[in-house]
Structure 1
């Protein structure tokens, strides 16, 4: 395997690990929401990112049994 191939594989692995980490931490939740909204909700626009995180936090506070801590 050549050096460029090794570097390419290392970059691809790093991107995959970052994607997994963001998913576990919930960092990509807003983008997931936007994708879902675009596919299923034709009326009205999506929430802003600020509105989305406020709504998500409010729902978590209203339903604490869904969390580990």
Structure 2
């Protein structure tokens, strides 16, 4: 194992953790799942996906989303 392997692996893990925590990987997971389930189906663009995700998040008026 090289001297740089351990820090590189640690940075890779930190990057993965941060992207999972912030939801940045949500679109990549969506694309993978959509293409696997139905290879011929239309896949939403990143912008369409984020709009759909936001609309879905705020669709429930009784849920509190970090405010008040």
Return 5+ residue gaps in structure 2 as ranges: none
Tell me which protein shows more helix as a share of its residues: 1
Give the CA RMSD over aligned residues.
1.9
* Residue among 45, 53, 56 paired with 1:56: 53
Write the mapping of 1:12-23 to structure 2, written as runs, cut at 5 A: 12-23=9-20
Which aligned runs of 4 or more in structure 1 are off by greater than 3 angstroms?
Answer: none
TM-score w.r.t. structure 1 length? 0.80
Q: TM-score, normalised by structure 2?
A: 0.81
